[in-house]
Amino acid sequence: MVLAVVSCQQGVTDLGVVEDSSLNQEESLGPLVNGMARALSDALDTIALTGAAVSREVVASGSQFLFGVTPRQSRGILDPVESDEHWNLAHRARWVAEEGVRRMREVLGGRFPTSRLAARGLLFAGFANRLLGENMCHGVVDGGPAQPRTVHFERSKEAFEEAHEIAVRIGDADLANAALAGRASVLASLGEWAGARADAERIPPGFVHHARYHRNEIDQYNTLYWATAGTPYRSISVWSTFYEGYYLETGDPRTPWSRDPAADEGPLGVPFLRQEKYTSRDAPIPLVDRAEMRLIVAEARLRAGEVPGALAEIEALRAKAGVDPWSAEDLEGAWTALKRERGIELWLEGRRLWDLHRWREEGVPGEAEDLAGRDTCFPIGATEASTNPNIP
């Protein structure tokens, strides 16, 4: 797999002539890390689109075969066959990053702890594992048995911690903040709220770290954009979601959509409301940013009973966006505001399924869109289930 990813990055057309040992040299490490970036972006892109439909961030409006979602996914059903691609892409991203980091340790030796490439590789391992933890129902590592999904959060935490150490050592503030913010998000997922809040408090205003997309080839496009780019796609629509009414009422720039006068309906006859968060084939998808960090602080405060402080964090984000504050006077109202605000800030970023899942499992107060009966995670893929002897 590393051969395939690196060879694509190096322009190699005949994989048969590329020896594995050729990757054990320093000049191969840059393309190796680029391959990690590509694998993560591919997985995030696919999971974000399907997860958006399952969690009703969007609805299906066009053919499932043209960058769309299947009828079962539209109804909130995630089965092993239709989830196979999502499972495989996410695990490819994890394996490519972790195997690449292992190889980099061998090649760089004592220089690994001061290598920017090493820090980047560890970041990709962290984000790939977070993607798995937030979206897959079970954790499976390299042909092993099914485990709790938290195994991926633990692996993510370790990768982010080492990436942060290296970034601080070499004085790379952007990578250090990305690693710190990534760790904050997985500490929150592990229920370690004090640590999550401490990390989140350190992220400076304006910070954002993205997954990148490209115009070069269709499989490098941002699919959330391309699925709504127009004829013949129009595969997803904002119609009938919370975000349709919310944007009409508030004009919040974080959840924009538009009507296309030339294409009022999608191919399925569903009113076509085009998401405008991503407006080009190479539009990046945020992996972590300052706004999410402030919402981690807000949730940590809610869990500690600090309702006024939590609401202050939420309302600061709304003031920055130029929209009115939520009406909330008690703990339940504050939780409702928090749940809505995370949905708004992280809209179409592949993060909603996990939020809905963890809040449902914990039984925290506050209202969220009623998604009763809909799945909140992807099952083990059919290929994994049929080839892994440790999966019953």
Q: What percent of the chain has pLDDT over 90?
A: 82
Q: 15 or 382: whose pLDDT is higher?
A: 382
pLDDT digits (tens, 9 = 90+) for 296-341: 999 999 999 999 999 999 999 999 999 999 989 899 999 999 999 9
Q: 203 or 218: whose pLDDT is higher?
A: 203
pLDDT digits (tens, 9 = 90+) for 258-269: 998 877 877 778
User: In 202-241, where does DSSP find H-type helix?
Assistant: 223-226
**Mean pLDDT, to the nearest integer, of 26-38?**
95
Q: Using DSSP bridges, classify how beta strands 208-211 and 285-289 pair: parallel, antiparallel or unpaired.
A: antiparallel
Instruction: Give the pLDDT band (50/70/90) at residue 5.
Output: very low
Q: What is the pTM of this model?
A: 0.93
pLDDT of residue 7: 40
Instruction: Give the pLDDT band (50/70/90) at residue 220.
Output: very high
Judged by average pLDDT, the poorest of 10-14, 145-149, 209-213 is 10-14
Burial of 350 (0-12, 13-18, 19+ CB in 10 A): buried
pLDDT of residue 10: 41
Q: What percent of the chain has pLDDT over 70?
A: 93
pLDDT digits (tens, 9 = 90+) for 74-125: 999 999 999 999 999 999 999 999 999 999 999 999 999 999 999 999 999 9
pLDDT of residue 134: 98
pLDDT of residue 150: 98
Tell me the residue ranges of DSSP E strands in the chain. 59-60, 138-139, 147-148, 208-211, 236-237, 257-259, 273-275, 285-289
In the numeric block, which tokens belong to residue 34?
């680029």
Rounded Cα–Cα distance for residues 62 and 50 (Å): 13
pLDDT of residue 2: 46
**Mean pLDDT for all residues in the chain:** 92
Q: 231 or 323: whose pLDDT is higher?
A: 323
Judged by average pLDDT, the poorest of 214-223, 230-239, 319-328 is 230-239
In the numeric block, which tokens belong to residue 24?
């054990």
Cα-trace Rg, the chain: 21
